[in-house]
Chains A and B, each alone.
Chain A
Amino acid sequence: MLATALITGLVLGGTYALVAMGLTLQYGISRIMNLAYGETVIAASFGAYLLNNAIGINPLLGLALIVPLGFVFGYLVYGLMLRPLVARSRDAASLEINSILATFGLLFVIQGVMLVAFGTNFTSYSYMNFGVNVLGANIAANRLLAFVLAVAIGGGLYLLLTRTRWGTALRAVAVSPSSAALVGIDADRAARFAFALGSALAAAGGVIVSMYQTFTATSGVIFTMKALIVVIMGGVGNLLGALSAGLILGLVETFVATYLDPGLTLAATYLIFLAILLWRPAGLFGRAR
């Protein structure tokens, strides 16, 4: 039972980490606190569901279609809706409030569209739904695949950001947008790109989640919350922090669900969140700013 809980927790945590990485890019680099993030995730889940059931394209191939769509969506949302707010805001604090309010509205728009299109039912489809034995624990193959994908995408992104010139520029903007401009980095373009990249990651997370979980048009809020908690635990803008915090969150949830009560997982998540906020407001791995 312990081994099963441990492995299930790690697998779940992998997805959380992937989803949270997108949010940490959006908040860390573009400085946009996106409350509609979870809705992007769920929209991608519905996309994968449609592709799988209507056209018969499996989610792995669907990933190649939906992730670029997520990128384009993020690019457009930033350019049309958020860029004017960035230009208008006097300082970081007022941009934070403005972006929270605007994306709160966006949340209801996306959710409303999904409610009209898909209704309120729990949705799922079956893909690679058979057991695989890992170190004595029986895990569904789709969950295992989800974990592998999360690690591959998250790891690739990390390498991209730390090993390439282009990634270094993005990280420079995360540290200080005004100084980045001094060394010839187009901070505005970087912010737009990071936001779009974050949306692409949200879309990837959504497709991966849909392979093994049921979802509804209204479950986006939960994903936003969990991603936010992971981002804050890991430290804003910190990819490795998001990875570790995501794994921790997955483990805690699985252990609470296994040994206490499945109904208390969200309460447990919240307790961790509060403890982290009070103990280390800059995140487990963040430095005080």
Chain B
Amino acid sequence: MRKGATWAGLALLLAVLAAAPLYVSPYVLGLLVGIAGYVTLATAWAMFSGPTRYVSLATVAFFGIGAYTVAVLSETLPYPLVLLVAALIGLAVALVVGLSTLRLAGVYFVIFTFGLAELVRQLVTWYEINVTGTLGRYIFLPLGPEHIYWQLLALAAFTLSLSWWVSRSRIGLALKVIGDDEVVAAHSGINLTRTKLMLFAASSVIITLVGAIQAPRWTYVEPAIVFNPTLSFLTLIMALLGGATRLWGPALGAIPLFLLFEWLAANFPNHYSILLGLLFILIVFVLPNGVLAFAEKLWGGNAGKVAAATRGTPPS
């Protein structure tokens, strides 16, 4: 019974959100587009990085690849095909990066992804200057904010469902074992590289699609705009605030932080990144496992103790 009610509630929520363009102002719709984008990004990021603890700083590399593919191909191919091509390019890059770095210790992966965005940006810039001879492109697609919003909402719903499915499947269990102890995982017969690679690829393709879908909002696109490292940073901090190991954690972290960042960017444009950094340090210090885990610990329910036990920390 309770399960049925949860499903009905979720379906109702999705319907109310999908109908939002009919009853909200253009400004609120703009905010909703941003929220839907970041909820998807943070959930997709946490799907891989949460259980495995492989912190990826490459979010913007894939996001930018998606956005740039749309900028390059939007006039030559029909829109659905452009999205497909973007997803395929994202998949190819994810497989190359994953195959070469996921075998290694976690810290090398972090370092590599840290520079990946810069590498992709420089390669795209180099290609544009030397091969096509132009830097910066225009995107003219007949898509209003409500179309972008619906696409992002669908993608967010899909990402959350995928994340839910993964957490209940064998592969999700395998990921948790890998996150706790890779040696144990290998001895239990888990194919480490394949498991990590599958999740990394899925997460990266979703991130690429978010970039592709959001691209038409810019109209004008150049590498410095779409490969802005702040995006990787925001995604990470949102997922951490909410709790990267929970299904709803990243989404719950994304909504308040997105609104806060919008407010900060509007009111303190010059001190924006200082405030971001301080907030980030604060979150790392005060809420290392995210708000959800903190709340559960505070109210002491069974859920908190079980969750703490599965993470390997003794319940206090």
Chain A residues close to B by CB (< 8 Å):
33, 35, 81, 84-85, 88, 90, 93, 96-98, 100-102, 104-113, 115-116, 221-222, 224-225, 228, 232, 261, 263-264, 266-267, 270, 273-274, 277-278, 281
Contacts and interface: CB of A to CB of B under 8 A. Distances in A.
A33 B110 CA distance: 10
Contact of A97 (B55, B104, B122): B55
Given A84-B285, A100-B55, A105-B279, 15 more contacts: A35-B114, A97-B106, A101-B236, A102-B285, A106-B281, A108-B273, A108-B277, A111-B277, A112-B273, A112-B276, A113-B274, A116-B274, A221-B229, A266-B122, A274-B112
Q: For the complex, would chain A's binding face be called helix, strand, loop or mixed by DSSP majority?
A: helix
Nearest to B229: A221
Contacts of B306: none
Q: For the complex, would chain B's binding face be called helix, strand, loop or mixed by DSSP majority?
A: helix
A90 B119 CA distance: 34
A263 B277 contact: no
Given A105-B277, A266-B118, A97 B53 contact: yes
Given A33-B107, A102-B284, A108-B277, A222 B130 contact: no
A186 B104 CA distance: 32
Contacts of A35: 114
Contact of B276 (A84, A108, A263, A264): A108
Interface string B113-145: 011001100110110011000000000000000
Interface string B51-63: 0010101000000
B200 to A, nearest CB: 16
Contacts of B279: 105
Contact of B110 (A100, A105, A267, A273): A100
Given A104-B280, A261-B126, A266-B118, A112 B274 contact: yes
Contacts of A278: 100, 103
Given A35-B114, A261-B130, A109 B119 contact: no
A41 B154 CA distance: 44
A101 B119 contact: no
B220 interface: no
A88 B236 CA distance: 21
Contacts of B110: 33, 100
B39 interface: no
B122 A105 contact: no
B310 to A, nearest CB: 15
B100 A108 contact: no
23 contacts: A100-B55, A104-B280, A105-B278, A105-B281, A107-B277, A108-B276, A112-B273, A113-B274, A116-B271, A116-B274, A221-B114, A221-B118, A225-B111, A225-B114, A261-B130, A263-B125, A263-B130, A267-B119, A267-B123, A270-B115, A270-B119, A278-B100, A281-B105
Interface residues on B, range: 35 or more
Contacts of A109: 273-274, 277-278, 281
B53 A108 contact: no
A85 B285 CA distance: 8
Given A101-B284, A263-B126, A281-B104, A112 B55 contact: no
A266 B120 CA distance: 10
B242 to A, nearest CB: 15
Nearest to B282: A105
A17 to B, nearest CB: 18
Contacts of B275: 112
A267 B273 CA distance: 28
B102 to A, nearest CB: 11
Contacts of B100: 274, 277-278
Contacts of A97: 53, 55, 106
B126 A108 contact: no
Nearest to A274: B100
B46 interface: no
List of 5 A-B pairs having minimum Cβ-Cβ separation, nearest first: A108-B277, A112-B274, A105-B280, A109-B277, A112-B273
Given A98-B288, A225-B114, A266-B118, A108 B280 contact: yes
A233 to B, nearest CB: 12
Contacts of B263: none
A261 B285 CA distance: 44
A273 B277 contact: no
Contacts of A110: 277
Contact of B107 (A81, A96, A263): A96
Nearest to B182: A93
Given A104-B233, A105-B278, A267 B111 contact: no
B129 A263 contact: yes
B272 interface: yes
Given A105-B284, A261-B126, A232 B277 contact: no
A262 to B, nearest CB: 9
Contacts of A274: 100-101, 112
Nearest to B278: A109
A108 B273 CA distance: 6
B307 to A, nearest CB: 16
A19 to B, nearest CB: 15
B233 A108 contact: yes
B139 to A, nearest CB: 24
Contacts of B240: 101
